[in-house]
Amino acid sequence: MIYFLPMRSRVILIGYSGAEALDLFGPADVFSGANERAEAPLYDVIIAALDEHECKLSCGPSVVARDLATIRPQPTDTVLVAGGADASIAAMIAKPALMAWLDRAERVVRRIGSVCDGAFILAHAGLLDGHRIATHWSSADRLTRAYPMVSVDREAIFVRDGKLWTSAGVSTGIDMALAIVEDDHGRQLADSVAAHLVLYVRRPGFQSQFSEALVAQTSSSDPLGPVVMWVRANLRAPIDVAKLARCAGMSVRSLHRHCLEVIDTTPAKLVEKLRVEHARTLLTTTQLGTKTIAARCGFGSPARMARAFDRTLGVAPTAYRMMFSAA
């Protein structure tokens, strides 16, 4: 009997000195893991760089890279540009040869994209104009100001727009790579790779980049820390901004300004996102009905909870439960 294996395709991960290691090695492990789990050579993973044989990554170690100038883009290729230190990205943007290579590749390859601040390199090459993209939440405003023709999705951990794939900060490159594997070879293989990498859950692209609770509690001295703790303990109760301001020891105006500066959202939106966060936990870890969950999280009704889920995640509570419930 003759077995026909899927056609092998290349994944070209573009790095440079100062690149973020996980932006390269996270996707690389996913694609090489797909080879192992499928017991077939599905992907040929290549780390490449322009004018650099050895790239010293942002965390210190170096990686040997193939010369990007010697690689001719092919129709089955996937090209992903890593993010990195600001100075390193600026140096890459200043290389006309890299911009020209990316422009040629975009016309030929099956998909092209970036991880984290690698989006700045693609944007400078003109490949993101008119597209919706993702980048690290802390860089969204800067990217929007520098490249106003680009539509930055501040919430999504990765975005697919035609052949263009972009992901948010660092570890989200893994989520995007898993989605690419699923797109190529099905969900079963992608789930198998995720399990092998001991990932707690596969996150879809609409998943929010970060938890406001986590961000607010990174510093015990930040006034948002007590606010978040109080909200989480009082989700069922009516909550207004005046109460939050008293909890933070700030005026309403100061709290509003501080929320925008620290987590890029308003106090009212923070409360809604914390309620959605708790509802997500109940949906995936319990068999409680949506009416009960809505009441426990302070939404009042399933309809209000559904509207909050749509605004925050772009998906209905019942659909979220189907995708992520352990049951």
Domain ranges of the chain: 9-196, 212-324
The CATH class of 9-196 is: alpha beta
pLDDT score recorded for residue 216: 53
pLDDT score recorded for residue 155: 74
| Residue ranges in the chain whose pLDDT is less than 70 | 1-7, 200-221, 324-327
Which residue in this structure is represented by tokens 């909870």?
305
Can 9-196 and 212-324 be said to share one CATH topology?
A: no
pLDDT score recorded for residue 209: 58
45, 209 contact by CB (below 8 A): no
CATH architecture under which domain 212-324 falls: Orthogonal Bundle (1.10)
pTM strictly above 0.75: no
pLDDT for 235-292, tens place per residue?
999 999 999 999 888 999 999 998 888 777 899 998 998 899 889 888 888 889 999 9
Q: Is the dihedral of CA 37, 43, 49, 53 positive or negative?
A: positive
pLDDT score recorded for residue 4: 40
First CA to last CA distance, the chain: 40
pLDDT score recorded for residue 233: 87
Task: Spell out where the chain has E strands.
Answer: 9-14, 43-49, 54-56, 62-64, 66-67, 78-81, 111-115, 132-133, 151-152, 158-161, 164-167
